[in-house]
Structure formats: C-alpha cells, structure tokens
C-alpha cells in the first residue's frame, strides 16, 4: 500500500467517514482537498497534509481524529514529519489572530499553546495553499455558508497573493471572480 492509501485507511479507522462535513463526510472532504492540491501541482508532502489537514480539528471544525498532545507521533509515523508539521500548523492555527495580516507578519498563532511561530517562505506557501484549497472546497460544497464565506474569501485571498502558489491563486480567481 502507498502512504496515501495507508493514511486513507487510518482516517477511516478514526471515523472520518462518520463525521458530517461540507458536501458529505469529513473523509470525502479530505479526499477532495487532497485531489485539488494534486491537480494544482502541490508536492506529495502537501497532498498528504491536505488529506489529513483536519486530524487535530481546526479553528473552524473542532472535532478531531487525533489528540494533538499525545498522538502526533501516530500521524507522523504514517505521513512523515514534514507533512505532520503542516497538519499540526493548519489545525492549531488561531484564525482570528493569524489570517488577516499573515502576509505582513508571516506568523501563525497556535490556538492550542498560545505561542506564535514565524514561518519561512516555503512553509507559508504550503500553509496558505492548503488554507485556500480547503476554503474553496467548503465554498463549493456548503451553499448555506456561501453568503458569508464568498465575500470573506474575496477580501482575504488577495491579501495572500504574495504567499500562495500561482496555481492556487489562479484557481481562486477562477472560482471567486471579483
């Protein structure tokens, strides 16, 4: 089995297919995010992180499949330390203090620990690409959220244009014309 398949199996064991999420189950959402990242030319590491991005819950989806305090090594053993760190950063991100001015301060605030971390350019790109792709998937599959989410993304994504990959920016502009 491949790492991708191993992770998919682990997500099933952890109940991702039983949790409601935009457009079906969390499991289906995670696969759509990973598929879109693949289509947009993301690295294998980022695609794996996309498949597991909600493993520790998120600021917008508090249900978790793994305990961030005790089970990070479990996820890391399947997807590797680089992908796991992307998943942790994504899940632990305190959106209110991070998202708006991320292009200026390059700092992600950890909602679990209260600490902040300044990210390198490649780490920022992975973080922003995953964030945009996730939010686009939610927008595509949760029509009830569109009246609030669409204007937010139309305002937020241009702030991140210096951080996101060209392919992710093009996809967001295609789906969110201004």
pLDDT tens string 76-109:
999 999 999 999 999 999 999 999 999 999 999 9
Q: What digits encode the pLDDT tens for the residues 30-79? A: 999 999 999 999 999 999 999 999 999 999 898 999 999 999 999 999 99
CA atoms within 13 A on the CB side of 3: 16
* Angstrom distance (rounded) from CA 97 to CA 107: 9
* Angstrom distance (rounded) from CA 27 to CA 115: 30
What pLDDT does 1 receive?
66
Beta bridge partners of 107: 118
What pLDDT does 178 receive?
61
Phi/psi at 2 (5° precision): -85, 165
Q: Is 4 a residue whose pLDDT tops 70?
A: yes
Alpha helices by DSSP H, 19-80: 26-39, 44-52, 72-79
* Angstrom distance (rounded) from CA 126 to CA 16: 23
- Segment 125-132 shows an average pLDDT of 98
Q: Which range among 1-5, 146-150, 157-161 shows the weakest confidence by mean pLDDT?
A: 1-5
Tokens 């992307």 found at: 86
pTM of the predicted structure, to 2 decimals: 0.96
Q: Is 177 a residue whose pLDDT tops 90?
A: no
Cα four-point dihedral sign 109, 111, 113, 119: negative
Phi/psi at 94 (5° precision): -85, 100
| DSSP H or E run through 117 | strand 116-118
């Amino acid at each position: 089995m491949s790492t991708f398949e191993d992770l998919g199996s682990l997500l099933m064991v952890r109940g991702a297919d039983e949790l409601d999420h935009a457009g079906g189950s969390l499991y289906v959402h995670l696969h759509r995010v990973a598929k879109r990242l693949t289509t947009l030319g993301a690295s294998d590491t980022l695609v794996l992180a996309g498949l597991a991005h909600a493993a520790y819950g998120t600021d917008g989806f508090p249900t978790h499949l793994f305990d961030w305090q005790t089970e990070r090594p479990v996820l890391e053993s399947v997807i590797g330390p680089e992908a796991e760190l992307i998943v942790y950063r994504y899940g632990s991100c305190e959106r209110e203090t991070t998202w708006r001015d991320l292009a200026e301060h390059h700092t992600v605030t950890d909602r679990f620990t209260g600490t902040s971390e300044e990210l390198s350019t490649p780490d920022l790109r992975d973080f922003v690409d995953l964030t945009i792709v996730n939010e686009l998937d939610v927008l595509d599959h949760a029509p009830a959220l569109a009246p609030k989410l669409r204007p937010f993304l139309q305002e937020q994504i241009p702030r991140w244009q210096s951080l996101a990959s060209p392919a992710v920016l093009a996809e967001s502009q295609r789906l969110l014309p201004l």
